[in-house]
Structure 1
Amino acid sequence: MKRSRLPLTALRSFEVAGRHTSFSRAAEELHVSQAAISRQIRELETTLSTPLFERLHRKVVLTETGKALLTQLTASFDGIERMLADIAARCQTKTARVSSDASLASCWLIPRLDRFRRANPDIDVVLDVDPRLIEFRAEQAELALRFSFHNTSWANSEAERLAYAYETPVVAPVLLANGAPIEKPGDLRRFTLLHEESREHWKNWFRLAGEEEADVRAPGPMYADMALSKQAALLGHGVALVDLLYMQDELAAGTLIRPFATELNSGGYFLVARNLSKLSEPARIFADWIRAEFAASVAALSSTKGERSVLGAASGHIPSTRLSEPLN
């Protein structure tokens, strides 16, 4: 087919529908009606004299020809997007677009972000808070910071581990002021246990601390993420399991107290991008800064007297069995 006769609108509709295997989601992404998507794909199939989708009850499935065409189109459209974004970026303010989940953003990144601004006043950081792993398309963030319980790599992207995650109990001093002293891990059950997504967190920590028969089924607030459970602990609402990286400032200031050194291995933190070696200049500078900041946080924790290193998987820790979705 001659280039002048390429059905570009239909090809774009097919690529989006094929990527989502859904005509309705393609319509949402392209801001057109589902009927328009269906009509354009039918016309493309007529032009090519072959079906690209199998229409099943309530869903569509790509044919082998459709799969081959989708692979080519996605690579081509992605290349066009990147080229246009690169051209536009040369004429715009330097911007590093970064995606992060809410807890990592509020507990770790934002308290440090002003340091990046002072060191790089010519780069604007656009922070998108979203728990989902993005596809790194032209209109989305170029970098993502993510916590994951289990995954270490994801499709169509590169991931670099920045640090391991270790959770430990923390409590506000006000809760300890008028009660009996905490001498053993089981004493924590005298307080309200603050939960993040699942009661399995505390069950696993008590088991690691030697309390095999710990009963953590007693009612206690359940929070959607660690930032909320940390805030509740700061307010004296109970005892929370919080990642060491998330509470360095509070431990130093004495607004949170760590009664035991036992640490539960609960995953890791990752820097994720489509291609970490081909970042724009602002994104590369931000990525290097993030690596340095995580290294500094890890070093500070590792040098703290009586605490285990968080540089690698420490023996004696058990993995978390949180009932939570992985990165994607």
Structure 2
Amino acid sequence: MMRRLPSLNGLRAFEATGRHGSFTAAARELNVTQTAVSRLVRLLEDRLGFPLFRRHANALELTAQGQALLSGLTDAFDTIARLTESVTAMRGGPVLTVGVGPTLAVTWLIPRLAHFYRSHPDVEVRMATGGATRPVRDDWTCTIRRDTDALPGYNAECLFPSTVVPVCTPKLASTLRSPDDLRNATLIVVSHMPNEWPHWFAAAGLRSPVHPAGEVSFESNVMAMQAALDGVGVAIAQIPYVSDALAAGRLVAPFPIVAHTVGGWLLEYRAIRKEDPALLAFRGWLHQEADRARQVENMLVKQGSIERREGPSA
């Protein structure tokens, strides 16, 4: 069935005029002259067979028909605008959804995505919060998480080992001479990861319980890393969380001891997705970035900035 619609230009002119209450304001929005808007509205009124405005000397007043038409048109144009935006946002290339913990996403993955897009401009990467702390969803293409084994039914590829190191600002580090000085410092703790500090203390040779002068607890690693950057205290961090900040000198490792913990950072995906074009591109790029991350750690070891040590068995 063919729709019998009035002029869309006339409807746009009327809707803008009705919202603003002025031909002049509508003309500015539509980037045409006031005369053009007034003429389009007049032609629309002629087409409909009734007036939409009562024209006064210094004001426009909507008629009852004008009020009814305006409310429906505004909703309709808003719907068209939203639809246009959503279609414009759609990409024709492969789409990849990766589940990843918020801290790794913010501190490591997102800062590197520009490099991925330069090499693979046709692939759209969508991130979902999860991977490290939430169950993997079936609609995700892959996940990056820290664990000892792959999830049931998933292939797992190791990206880099799980290692922790104390970090703080250079100013705070200048007050620390040995690991034992941490007893007089404020330690930053992540509430759901209470064993990270004890693990590092054991690797550093501090066998007895360490009771710091102060302790600040956060619910997430993202908040803990920001607190370290703000000089709140000394945080214990996974190397990927702080590798960029260490390389830039925004954070330092006051005691160059990296403790290996159980497990590692894994890229996981179902076997059925192995040949997915987006995943193939992402996997190759991700392993290259992981290799670079390991090279940075190796460089710091050679420079004496950090030293690897094994923590206690889990």
TM-score band by shorter chain is 0.5 to 0.7
Residues in 2 aligned to 1:306 and 1:132: alpha-carbon distance in whole angstroms = 37
Q: Is 2:93 the partner of 1:93?
A: yes
Residues in 2 aligned to 1:297 and 1:121: alpha-carbon distance in whole angstroms = 23
1:269 corresponds to which residue?
265
1:268 is paired with a residue whose SS is strand
1:162 corresponds to which residue?
159
2:245 to 247, 250, 257: 250
What letter corresponds to residue 158 of structure 1 in structure 2? N
1:192 corresponds to which residue?
186
1:139-189, Cα deviation, whole Å (9 max, x unpaired): x111111112xx222211111111102111111123356xxx422101022
Are residues 217 and 189 of structure 1, via their aligned partners in 2, closer, same or farther at CA, if it must alter by over 3 Å? closer
1:144 corresponds to which residue?
143
Aligned residues: 218
Aligned-pair Cα RMSD in Å: 2.3
- State the 1:195 CA deviation: 0.6
CA contact (8 A) 2:154 2:269 kept: yes
Residues in 1 aligned to 2:158 and 2:99: alpha-carbon distance in whole angstroms = 16
2:310 corresponds to which residue?
317
Percent same amino acid at aligned positions? 29
Looking at CA atoms only, which structure, 1 or 2, has the larger radius of gyration?
Answer: 2
Runs of 4+ residues deviating >4 angstroms: none
- State the 1:124 CA deviation: 0.9
- State the 1:93 CA deviation: 3.0
1:217-256, Cα deviation, whole Å (9 max, x unpaired): 7652222332221111000100001122222221222211
- State the 1:259 CA deviation: 1.0
Are residues 319 and 269 of structure 1, via their aligned partners in 2, closer, same or farther at CA, if it must alter by over 3 Å? farther
Residues in 2 aligned to 1:204 and 1:118: alpha-carbon distance in whole angstroms = 40
2:225 corresponds to which residue?
230
Residues in 1 aligned to 2:151 and 2:168: alpha-carbon distance in whole angstroms = 36
1:289 to 281, 285, 290: 285
1:82 corresponds to which residue?
none
Are residues 317 and 128 of structure 1, via their aligned partners in 2, closer, same or farther at CA, if it must alter by over 3 Å? same
Structure 2 gaps of 5+ residues are: 1-90
1:306 corresponds to which residue?
304
Are residues 261 and 224 of structure 1, via their aligned partners in 2, closer, same or farther at CA, if it must alter by over 3 Å? same
CA contact (8 A) 1:160 1:270 kept: yes
What letter corresponds to residue 233 of structure 2 in structure 1? G
CA contact (8 A) 2:167 2:228 kept: yes
- State the 1:276 CA deviation: 7.3
